[in-house]
Chains A and B, each alone.
Chain A
Amino acid sequence: MSADTQSDLTETEIEELQAFLDDETDEVPSTEEIREQYQTFRTAHLLAHDPSINSLVEWAADDGEAAVDRYRAPSGFGDVSLGELEDVHEEGTGDSEDGDEDDDDGVWVNIEAEVQAVLDTNSDSVFDRYLMGDDEGLAVVAVFQDAASEMGLETSLEEGDSVRFETLVTESYEGRISLKATVVADYEHIEYDPDVPEQTVPFEVFVVDTAHDVEENMSGLIKRCSHDGCTRVLDNATCSHSDHGTIDNPEYDLRLKLVVAAGDEDYVFILDEEATSTLTGLTLEEAKEMAYDAGETTKVLEEMREHLLGRTIGGTVDDQDVAMMVDDVYLIGDAPDPNGTLAEAREFKANFAADAESA
């Protein structure tokens, strides 16, 4: 929280706050009281504007500081390990106070974990998303822009950074629990070297498509923002970070976003430079040359699609995010041999006809 104990809430903010508390509770503090406990009510005001918070009421009627403490460890959960998230979320949202089974309801937790990866984000309101890992498990933490300013996070965290996050809120989406850092969250660097468990699952899937749900240039030879600490994939030379705009000297990278199918279930797999190289046989340097010769980067994706569409691939994938990071990948099956298959089919037919006749 910005530690401005002398500042005042504006008249509007106080009025809004009182109106809110009036709706929800019998105890509406006076303007005086609100001003006296600036910190507490600043928090309340911020919380009142964050749609993910519903239990403001419970503590508003209580004594200020103790209430804030309770907020920092609300719903009784406090410090949790990433392996407990699912249980904690279920336990916490199961007995929601207003009986509102809204999916937006989450529980408040504190975690200590290490950044395993900085994930993609294309939303203006999100500062960054991190895949965090501790001794018990992994989870994605999404830090919103306003949250980042509030907690003094200016540049992105990096892989390997160990952090204590306080007052994150859990969210359930498509069966996965992730964490959000909103304006009430806080962080600090810590010393922590966890033994992050393997959370990869094996797969064998059929490559249906390269995903271009947002723009075409999200796969193949891609460009990333060259601003310090920003790794966002550029969309036509523009970074989705509101301050970065057009990037003239992007950093190149290889990446594939594949739509794959196993039976009738579809998934989105993300392959980083290493996985993409392994699967397609193209190095980043070769890809850059290819793009240079062709005058555009889309040539690289075309080549990769030719190589991969309709193929079966196997390996292991990190099952943490809705779009899954591929850990280990390889092509299954040889290149098709229609000539050989044709010969086999003719033989099969001959035998089949013979069997039919003798039947």
Chain B
Amino acid sequence: MSESNANESSSEPRREPSIYLSAAEFNMVTEVYQEDREYAPKYHLLPTMVGANRVVVCGKFLEFEWADDDESYARARISGPTGTFFAYAGEYQPKARDKILELAEKAASEGPPPTVLVKAKVDSFVTDDGERNVNLQPEMITEAPDESFVRWVTDMAYATMDRIENASNGEQSIETDVPDSEFDVDEDELQTILDEVIDALEHADAIAQQGSVDIISEADAEGDTAEASS
């Protein structure tokens, strides 16, 4: 529904749009903001000065493993041209978890790893070292053809550039309950994010021009993951 219609018909608090962002930006998140009231949404603070609650990402589904001994929490690794996303699906995300197992089988068999489009809530935990590790709590995972990846990259690029522009002017691109003061915008980080976006666009361009190209990031190829394992 158009945003206004959706809000009018709902008796729930205002809902936030899903944010398109790169793995590079996603993995830079270190802070969370949540108001002290019942059902207050949790916002993970993006370096581009936006509070993220839900995101849409795209990448290659590489592998999965059980994050716990009881085999109820599935951890999936999804890789894009700018880095890796970790997604966790437990008993409360049964559909996503089933999908992860299905995709894992596909990824393990011959052929290129499947490309997936993921709509997820942003989640995180703090490690023993006091570091915050962000991850995805998928609500929807779907296999997508290369065309969708290309489309997602261009949409993500525009959304990111928009956020960067506004952030450098001290403005939030999407209004949420998070006060401006919570953000600590670092111009260098914005530069890095922009460079990564350009990288992603180059990949997407290559795919569009000559058919499927490996979109696993160079960082991943070197076995350098973006998140410490728990």
Residues of A that sit less than 8 Å from B by CB: 201-206, 208-209, 259, 261-267, 305-307, 309-311, 335-339, 341-342, 344-346, 348-349, 352-353, 355-356, 359
- Given A264-B16, A339-B205 in contact, is the A309-B187 Cβ separation under 8 Å? no
CB atoms of B187 and A342 under 8 A apart: no
* The residue from B56, B119, B191 contacting A352, defined by CB atoms under 8 A apart: B191
B174–chain A nearest beta-carbon distance, Å: 11
Nearest-Cβ distance from residue A306 to partner chain B, whole angstroms = 4
* Interface flag for B208 (CB, 8 Å): yes
Given contacts A342-B201, A342-B202, contact A355 B117 (CB under 8 A): no
How far apart are the CA atoms of A309 and B198 in the complex, in Å?
Answer: 23
Query: Do residues B53 and A336 form an inter-chain contact, with CB atoms below 8 A?
Result: no
Question: How far is B6's CA from A352's CA once the two chains are assembled, in angstroms?
Answer: 36
Q: Are B117 and A353 in contact (CB under 8 A)?
A: no
Q: Collect the chain B residues with CB atoms within 8 Å of residue A336's CB.
A: 150-151, 153-155, 204, 208
Q: A203-B2, A342-B204, A345-B157 are in contact. List 14 more A-B contacts (CB 8 A).
A: A203-B1, A205-B1, A263-B16, A264-B16, A306-B147, A309-B117, A310-B147, A311-B151, A339-B205, A348-B194, A352-B164, A352-B165, A352-B168, A355-B168
A88 to B53, CA, bound (A): 39
- Min CB distance B43 to A, Å, is 13
| Residues in B whose Cβ lies below 8 Å from that of A262 | 1-3, 6
Return chain B residues, CB-CB under 8 Å to A359: 187
A266 x B17 contact (CB < 8 A) = no
Pair B140/A209 contact, Cβ less than 8 Å: yes
Q: Looking across the interface, which residue of chain B has its beta carbon closest to that of A340?
A: B154
- Give the distance to chain A from B111, nearest Cβ to Cβ, in Å: 15
A265 touching B2 by the CB < 8 A rule?
A: no
B66 at the interface (CB under 8 A from A): no
Distance from A298 Cβ to chain B, minimum over Cβ atoms (Å): 13
List the B residue with the shortest CB-CB distance to A302: B145
Using CB atoms, name the residue of chain A closest to B195. A349
The answer to whether B140 touches A208, judged by C-beta atoms less than 8 angstroms apart, is yes
Inside 8 A of A356's CB, which chain B residues have their CB? 168, 187, 191
Q: In the complex, how many residues of chain B place their beta carbon closer than 8 angstroms to a beta carbon of chain A?
A: 48
A259 adjacent to B145 (CB under 8 Å): no
Overall SS of chain B's interface: helix
Instruction: Considering the complex, give the chain A residue whose CB is closest to the CB of B164.
Output: A352
**A349-B140 in contact (CB<8A):** no
Q: Report yes or no: A310 in contact with B117, Cβ–Cβ below 8 A.
A: yes
B5 near A: Cβ within 8 Å? yes
B18–A263 contact, CB under 8 A?
yes
Q: Which of B5, B168, B205 is A202 in contact with, Cβ under 8 Å?
A: B5
Which of B1, B2, B158, B201 counts the most chain A CB atoms within 10 A? B1
> Are A346 and B208 in contact, with the CB atoms below 8 A?
no
A/B interface sample: 9 pairs, CB < 8 A? A203-B2, A262-B3, A263-B17, A265-B6, A309-B142, A341-B154, A341-B157, A341-B158, A356-B187
Q: Is B144 an interface residue (CB 8 A)?
A: yes
A209 to B140, CA, bound (A): 9
Complexed CA–CA distance, A356 and B198 (Å): 18
Please tell me if the beta carbons of B152 and A337 are within 8 angstroms of each other in the complex.
no
User: How far, in Å, is A327 (CB) from chain B's closest CB?
Assistant: 14
- Pick the contact of A263: B3, B58, B154, B168 (CB < 8 A): B3
- What's the nearest-Cβ distance from chain B to residue A347, in Å? 10
Closest Cβ of chain A: how far from B104's Cβ, in Å? 18
Binary flags per residue of B197-230, CB closer than 8 Å to A gives 1, else 0? 1100110110111000000000000000000000
**Interface members, chain B 112-132 (any A CB < 8 Å):** 117, 119
Contacts of B195 in A (CB 8 A): 349
